[in-house]
Amino acid sequence: MRSRFAPSPTGRLHVGNAYSALLCAHWAANNGADLLLRIEDIDHSRCRPQFIEGIFEDLQWLGLSWAEPVRLQSSHLEDYRTAIARLRELDLIYPCFCTRRTILQEMEKMAIAPHAEDAAGIYPGICRNLCSDEQERRMQSTPFAWRLNVKKAMGLIDTPLCWHDEQGLEYSAEIDHDVVIGRKDISFSYHLSVVVDDGIQGISHVIRGKDLEASTAIHRLLQQLLGLPAPTYIHHPLIHTSTGERLAKRNGATTLASLREIGVDAQKLSAYLLNLPGLIWPFEQQNNSTCNSEILRLLGKR
């Protein structure tokens, strides 16, 4: 049995990331399983080498260890290219030349979603049925993404799309639009790389936050199309702030580095996170000025 922690180096790890890593590590320890570390760095516009260093530093500080080698996605682009080529051979993906604006305009015309904020995750199929001559011609001059023809793909696999958790409970979901599996800017998508990597690394148990649960149907579909086995999926609840916001890099969630700097003990932090009341992180997001009763007396909890 084998699980993985798969952070993206787009910032320093925060306490929500640490919670996820600790759950993976505990699961592995309790089950005599391997824990792998994977650095998900295909998005070169957002990932930075210093954050990769930071991941190692923070996880080591937390006292976690993992089986080598660490898989760095940017060193395995050929694997993702091969998967795209396979889906192309099966005629299940098509080049999409749309910009956000053309998608929105089309949806307004079709009265699907009059507001921009409704547009994420919907695609009205504009490029789905272009003839191959037109595809070839436009591919020469226009940037394009690869979209999965979901309806066609669903016709090839066992339905409904489902997965199981550790208790054997079954979950299923539908995919409501042709998802991008090769981005215009970086050629691949998170969905494609995660599925290829979990397959190559022989991951039997995917343990990750509930925010990624909505992607699991897409992952199950890609696994079946690419002939990859189905891991067990455990989606853990997320830590929130006391005002109900999900901890995230973009809202300045407390980083492990900042806690270390003010003298928090890693073991105390781990124990605190694993028993966090209500899964609420009660401290100021950025604890530059410390306090909150000196982060509950550096987590000895006073």
- Part in contact with ligand GLU (CB under 6 A); list of ranges 1-9, 59-67, 82-90, 112-120: 1-9
Q: How far is the CB of 161 from ligand GLU (least distance, A)?
A: 17
Give the nearest distance from C-beta 223 to ligand GLU in angstroms.
Answer: 13
Q: How many residues does the chain have?
A: 302
Q: Pick between residue 75 and residue 288 the one whose CB is nearest to ligand GLU.
A: 75
Using CB under 6 A as the binding rule, whether residue 73 contacts ligand GLU is answered as: no
CB-based contacts of 81: which residues, under 8 Å, 6+ apart? 187
Of 3, 6, 203, 254, which one interacts with ligand GLU (CB under 6 A)? 6
* Cis amide linkage into residue 69, ω under 30° from 0: yes
- Calculate Rg over the CA atoms of the chain: 21
Residue 112 as a binder of ligand GLU (CB under 6 A): the answer is no
**CA–CA distance, 182 with 249 (Å, rounded to integer):** 24
Distance CA(142)–CA(152), nearest Å, equals 25
Ordered alpha helix ranges (H), 10-160: 15-31, 49-62, 77-89, 100-109, 132-141, 150-154
DSSP E strand boundaries for the chain: 2-5, 34-39, 67-72, 93-96, 145-148, 162-164, 170-172, 180-182, 205-209, 232-236, 240-241, 280-281
Closer CB to ligand GLU, residue 12 or residue 149?
A: 12
Assess 223 for contact with ligand GLU (CB under 6 A): no
Task: Tell me how far, at minimum, the Cβ of 198 lies from ligand GLU, in Å.
Answer: 8
Site residues for ligand GLU, window 181-210 (CB under 6 A)? 194, 208
Closer residue to ligand GLU, CB minimum distance, 8 or 224: 8
Q: What are phi and psi of 172, to 5 degrees?
A: -150, 160
Interacting stretch for ligand GLU, rule CB under 6 A, among 5-13, 164-172, 248-256, 286-294?
Answer: 5-13
Q: Is 58 in the site for ligand GLU (CB under 6 A)?
A: no
* ∠ Cα 54 56 59 (to 5°): 105
Task: Show Cβ contacts of residue 117 under 8 Å, excluding neighbours closer than 6 positions.
Answer: none
Of the listed pieces 3-11, 81-89, 144-152, 233-241, which binds ligand GLU according to CB under 6 A? Answer: 3-11
- Judged by beta carbon, residue 13 or residue 266, the one nearer ligand GLU is 13
Please work out the total of residues on this chain that contact ligand GLU, with binding judged by CB under 6 A: 7
Q: How many beta carbons lie within 10 A of that of residue 236, not counting itself?
A: 16
Q: Is 40 in the site for ligand GLU (CB under 6 A)?
A: yes
**According to the binding rule CB under 6 A, does residue 248 interact with ligand GLU?**
no
Identity of the residue, 70 or 113, whose beta carbon is nearer to ligand GLU in the bound complex: 70
Of the candidate spans 4-12, 81-89, 138-146, 292-300, the one that interacts with ligand GLU by CB under 6 A turns out to be: 4-12
The answer to whether 212 contacts ligand GLU (rule: CB under 6 A) is: yes
Q: Which of 8, 216, 255, 258 binds ligand GLU (CB under 6 A)?
A: 8
Per-residue tokens: 73: 């996605």
12 binds ligand GLU (CB under 6 A): no
What is the maximal distance between C-alpha atoms in the chain?
Answer: 70
**Alpha-carbon gap, residue 3 to 1, rounded angstroms:** 7
Which residue ranges make up the site for ligand GLU (CB under 6 A)?
A: 6-8, 40, 194, 208, 212
